[in-house]
């Protein structure tokens, strides 16, 4: 009987232990579940609060900078604007020829725009490689027939002495109105001189001769501008040597000056493609072999050019005077 009671008691104790263990285990699971839910709720609440915070404040907190609650302003960056190109400074020149052609391009073959008289002030903005002066307002003149004005020379010297002084502005140059009845210069025995002739003048001189309509006017003025050979002189020698353009050499070889016409039948005489080429060759030879060697007057040129004809200088000067009178009528 005691033995049975002892076994029953042991079983009750075991059952009690098991029940107690089950209760403890259930309590543990309940605690874990409640803790997890509480943590999730707290995390969601924290995230919700943080999402409402200005991101700039969060960034400021991370980098430990004082938060900027006002609008961000970008610093203004200065913008450099393109500077307008500066107008080239003009230099004042004065013409030295009695009458000087202003041409459309820097070439003696270019069209003549205007004719200006000696002493005309020109504003020059550029000197070309071939010696022409580009004018403010348009046009070109040959640099051999213009020089810096006294005032411009003084200014240049002053600027060289004190480069910090502001440059003085020049009076704008305007192309003069077309000259009315421009009077050419009087003929002169000096070979290197300015005639004052224009293409229109030369065309009038050639009227009624075989030289008319041969397009020689431009070439004649070209050698005057390039070499300084007076146009009156060139025309007079041309007329005398070619018989006003009717000689055999003029017709067969376009040689208007008898250039290299030596020997029997003038077989050695130069041949040219055009009569204008003959004029250009004449200018080169006179400038180099005559004026360049001291033969500077009609009389001196005659000693070498045509020594066999003592009347040659008188005939040449007579034609020059006659042509001049023709223009005055």
pLDDT at site 110: 79
Q: Which pLDDT belongs to residue 39?
A: 59
Above 90 in pLDDT, residue 212?
yes
Percentage, residues of the chain above pLDDT 90 = 47
> What's the CA gap between 214 and 217, in Å, rounded?
8
Report the C-alpha gap between 123 and 168 in whole angstroms.
Answer: 13
- pLDDT score of 50 more than 60: no
Q: What is the total residue count of the chain?
A: 329
Nearest to 294 by CA among 203, 191, 142: 191
Residues 199-328, CATH architecture: Orthogonal Bundle (1.10)
| Residue 25 confidence (pLDDT) above 50 | yes
Please count the other Cβ atoms lying within 10 Å of the Cβ belonging to residue 329: 5
Query: For 51-89, what is each residue's pLDDT tens digit?
Result: 555 555 555 545 554 555 555 555 555 666 666 666 678
Pair 202, 235: CB distance under 8 Å: yes
Q: 139-160 pLDDT, tens per residue?
A: 999 887 888 988 766 666 666 5
Q: What is the pLDDT of residue 291?
A: 94
The confidence score (pLDDT) of residue 179 equals: 44
Domain 91-161 and domain 199-328, same fold? Reply is no
Task: Return mean pLDDT, the chain.
Answer: 81
Q: Where are the domains of the chain?
A: 91-161, 199-328
- The reported pLDDT for the residue numbered 135 is 96
Helix (H, G, I), strand (E, B) or coil at 196: coil
Q: What pLDDT digit, counting tens, does each position of 82-131 carry?
A: 666 666 788 999 988 766 788 899 987 778 888 888 889 999 999 998 88
Task: Note the pLDDT of residue 264.
Answer: 73
Contact indicator for 245, 278 with CB cutoff of 8 Å: no
pLDDT at 209: 96
Any idea what DSSP says for residue 23? Answer: H
Q: What pLDDT was estimated at residue 38?
A: 65
The residue to which tokens 């020089």 are assigned: 147
DSSP string, 91-149: EEEEE-SSEEEEESSSSTTSPEEEEEETT-EEEEEEE-TTSEEEETTS-EEEGGGEEE-
DSSP per-residue letters across 200-251: HHHHHHHTTSTTTTS--HHHHHHHHHHH-B-HHHHHHHHHHHHTTTTSHHHH
Residues 139/140/145/151 CA torsion (nearest 10 deg): 70
Of 311, 328, 308, 86, give the one whose Cα is nearest residue 205: 328
Superfamily of domain 91-161: SH3 Domains (2.30.30.40)
pTM reported for the whole predicted model: 0.52
Going by C-alpha positions, the residue among 280, 253, 281 that lies closest to residue 267 is 253
């Amino acid at each position: 009987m005691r033995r049975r009671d002892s076994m029953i008691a042991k079983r009750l104790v075991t059952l009690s232990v098991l029940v107690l263990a089950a209760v403890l285990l259930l309590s543990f699971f309940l605690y874990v579940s409640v803790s997890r839910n509480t943590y999730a709720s707290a995390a969601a609440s924290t995230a919700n609060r943080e999402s409402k915070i200005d991101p700039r404040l969060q960034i400021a907190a991370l980098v430990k900078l004082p938060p900027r609650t006002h609008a961000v302003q970008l610093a203004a960056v200065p913008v450099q604007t393109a500077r307008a190109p500066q107008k080239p400074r003009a230099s004042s020149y004065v013409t030295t020829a009695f009458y000087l052609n202003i041409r459309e391009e820097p070439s003696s073959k270019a069209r003549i725009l205007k004719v200006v008289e000696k002493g005309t002030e020109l504003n020059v903005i550029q000197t070309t490689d071939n010696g022409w002066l580009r004018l403010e307002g348009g046009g070109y003149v040959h640099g051999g027939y213009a020089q810096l004005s006294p005032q411009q020379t003084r200014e240049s010297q002053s600027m060289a002495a004190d480069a910090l002084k502001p440059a003085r502005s020049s009076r704008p140059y305007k192309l003069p109105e077309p000259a009315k009845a421009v009077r050419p210069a009087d003929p002169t025995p000096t070979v290197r001189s300015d005639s004052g002739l224009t293409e229109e003048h030369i065309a009038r001189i050639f009227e009624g001769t075989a030289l008319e309509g041969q397009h020689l006017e431009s070439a004649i003025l070209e050698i005057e501008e390039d070499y300084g050979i007076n146009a009156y002189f060139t025309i007079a020698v041309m007329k005398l040597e070619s018989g006003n353009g009717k000689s055999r050499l003029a017709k067969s070889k376009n040689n208007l000056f008898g250039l290299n016409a030596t020997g029997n039948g003038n077989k050695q005489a130069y041949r040219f493609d055009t009569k204008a080429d003959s004029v250009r060759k004449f200018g080169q030879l006179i400038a180099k072999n005559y004026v360049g060697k001291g033969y500077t007057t009609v009389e001196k040129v005659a000693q070498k050019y045509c020594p066999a004809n003592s009347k040659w200088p008188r005939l040449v000067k007579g034609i020059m005077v006659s042509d001049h009178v023709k223009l005055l009528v």
